[in-house]
Structure 1
């Protein structure tokens, strides 16, 4: 997610620095958010299971990196985003959101606080979803007016590789002298991996332990090959976007455009915890504060539809947009659905009326082409790794 989109059209998607590698591996490619990305290399089920039990290697270079730097960088981000970014320690990261003035979610983000290049000059890296990178860049640029800070599109400055799964720490340790044991979840540190300078972040979107490696594009192939060789003995496989979606779904992680939209506030999405009203910079002011205060009050007095998990009793797979029904009445809508390789059943996330959101609620189904298929309501996530 960085920005300044180079000229591209639906007929000419952007290529990552690893494009030749994907094609040599026989990947099935797909146009995703204007990028030509690997959907799968073979069996998406096998790729999914490899991440759950061993390790998978992903190219995530379509994500958008935006650098925010300067003496007032923290104050700008506290104003532009809903989180308390000024309280993030150097070397740590935070999940947050950027909202419209009316509280609608523009995107969900990860913000890394990097080491200061010079005293008093804060540097942050904002990582946005590929489909929203330009929107986020434009919003941050507009909101930077009056702050002593620079917003820079760094999409072309990075390739992003991720190694995810229980074997990922061992694979990475064999290639770096960075202190991975001391690297906490949602933290990042500069280091070298296979001789390649990298920002090593303990983050991911799979529900497993893992790392995301931000490197210069010219080093991407070299790093991919080194990780492939280091992981060969423990079952690491290349993984595409298809299994990334089923992995995040099992882990109950929201996807922008499905669980998160401009029509929902963080409180509607059950993620009100990311909104920090108590932050003190800028006098506590931030974009959307008034609307989000009202949304918090509404959620407290009359809970909106709640995001829940649904597990099929049969074999039919629900898809986004399908209606959730109970007693012949529509009580919700599916936002994401797929077969779950880990559970061995179709699963879905859905927003449902609070009266039908309790785990084990009876009589709930999904309307699949006119047939009301029975589903069990469960708490999210469907899957949680053993620590």
Structure 2
């Protein structure tokens, strides 16, 4: 972690950067951006999201709008999920795949609907560090004569309002009944009489919304929510929250060498209900023969925290590697994700993690590590 003055000027800053400075946030480099890692403290912010509400500046994430005829069927060839089943106002968390079925990125596709001229409209949110790569890949595989693609990443502020009280803080600002929106539902509305896109999605394992608005409204909304009592939160607690919910972090838990079946994302692969897509043959083979490695959940004891890159051992031999690990603020014990051979991926399997040159016991446990009672259904 570093203070803002110690970070190079080459890093990009979100439109809410100055608000973070005013709130005395600590900043860090993330995906080419200068991002707040914490404001009032990681544990304090984590508990606010689990018990009340917190807000995150996630304006660094990539944001695309697409429209055109047969848009959904074209996008359907890029992902293993069946997009044809989406209705207007619904979204699909999924993954872009390369020809080896490796994960180029994990993304959310929001289907806004089809107009009277058969033009379909979609919003896609992607990870910050992969925005250019994703844009290039998508454009390579869409028909430029029928699809209009717009990169609005720098034009819009994105604020995630997360926690059991998140809906109540936002409800007073919109006329739509937010409680009627299911998980991964979304709508276009207004906040302070200005256009806003709201989606019941997030990266914390809690209920909440992600709100996309223009710069002026984003600044106004951030200040309003802060004054109303929504706690500003940084990447530090965003990481502990998503890890408790066993949500993958791109570049650590998943990347372009790992398939969704290896990563425990088999629920995104709809081989039986859709046609051909990039990487399908590899996934069919893995489905038939089984994968050689799997992403697992690990629990260690005391303060023995298994961090990213630490070796996983079985019978004294290195068999895998930790991808993410932390001391869970909610559960009060260390948790981690790791890849190991499939034969060692069973729940209750006893393994070890090498921490600073010494092996410590670790047990394979079910994921997610924590499941909130506040989450709404799809």
1:372 aligns with 2:370: no
1:66 touches 1:151 (CA, 8 Å); kept in 2? yes
Q: Equivalents in 2 of 1:67, 1:279: separation in Å? A: 26
Residue 61 of structure 1 corresponds to: 59
1:243 aligns with 2:237: yes
Q: Could you state the TM-score of these two structures normalised by the residue count of structure 1?
A: 0.91
Residue 202 of structure 2 corresponds to: 204
In structure 2, relative to structure 1, the CA distance for the partners of 1:209 and 1:93 (3 Å cut) is same
Report the alpha carbon displacement of residue 361 of structure 1 after superposing the two structures with TM.
2.0
Report the alpha carbon displacement of residue 39 of structure 1 after superposing the two structures with TM.
0.9
Q: Equivalents in 1 of 2:284, 2:11: separation in Å? A: 40
Report the alpha carbon displacement of residue 326 of structure 1 after superposing the two structures with TM.
2.1
In structure 2, relative to structure 1, the CA distance for the partners of 1:376 and 1:289 (3 Å cut) is closer
Residue 256 of structure 1 corresponds to: 250
Residue 167 of structure 2 corresponds to: 169
1:338 aligns with 2:326: yes
Tell me the SS of whatever aligns to 1:80. coil
Structure 2 stretches of 5 or more lacking a match? 1-6
Report the alpha carbon displacement of residue 279 of structure 1 after superposing the two structures with TM.
4.6
Q: Which moved more, 1:147-156 or 1:159-168?
A: 147-156
1:172 touches 1:193 (CA, 8 Å); kept in 2? no
Residue 265 of structure 1 corresponds to: 259
289, 311, 327: which is aligned to 2:280? 289
Report the alpha carbon displacement of residue 168 of structure 1 after superposing the two structures with TM.
0.7
Report the alpha carbon displacement of residue 124 of structure 1 after superposing the two structures with TM.
0.6
1:352 aligns with 2:340: yes
Residue 3 of structure 2 corresponds to: none
Tell me the SS of whatever aligns to 1:155. coil
2:189 touches 2:195 (CA, 8 Å); kept in 1? yes
Structure 2 counterparts to residues 20-59 of structure 1, below 5 A: 20-59=18-57
In structure 2, relative to structure 1, the CA distance for the partners of 1:168 and 1:114 (3 Å cut) is same
205, 211, 217: which is aligned to 1:213? 211
Q: Which moved more, 1:32-41 or 1:55-64?
A: 32-41
Q: Equivalents in 1 of 2:149, 2:288: separation in Å? A: 33
1:17 touches 1:218 (CA, 8 Å); kept in 2? no
Q: Equivalents in 1 of 2:300, 2:246: separation in Å? A: 16
1:76 touches 1:147 (CA, 8 Å); kept in 2? no
115, 130, 133: which is aligned to 1:132? 130
Q: Equivalents in 2 of 1:205, 1:116: separation in Å? A: 28
Q: Equivalents in 2 of 1:316, 1:297: separation in Å? A: 38
Q: Equivalents in 2 of 1:146, 1:278: separation in Å? A: 29
2:87 touches 2:113 (CA, 8 Å); kept in 1? no
Q: Which moved more, 1:186-195 or 1:236-245?
A: 186-195
Report the alpha carbon displacement of residue 86 of structure 1 after superposing the two structures with TM.
2.5
146, 149, 155: which is aligned to 1:148? 146
Residue 4 of structure 1 corresponds to: none
279, 282, 298: which is aligned to 2:289? 298
Residue 104 of structure 2 corresponds to: 106
In structure 2, relative to structure 1, the CA distance for the partners of 1:72 and 1:278 (3 Å cut) is same
CA root-mean-square deviation: 1.7
Q: Equivalents in 1 of 2:55, 2:107: separation in Å? A: 22
Q: Equivalents in 2 of 1:38, 1:139: separation in Å? A: 29
Q: Equivalents in 2 of 1:127, 1:289: separation in Å? A: 23
363, 368, 373: which is aligned to 1:381? 368
Q: Could you state the TM-score of these two structures normalised by the residue count of structure 2?
A: 0.93
2:325 touches 2:334 (CA, 8 Å); kept in 1? yes
Tell me the SS of whatever aligns to 1:258. coil
In structure 2, relative to structure 1, the CA distance for the partners of 1:117 and 1:63 (3 Å cut) is farther
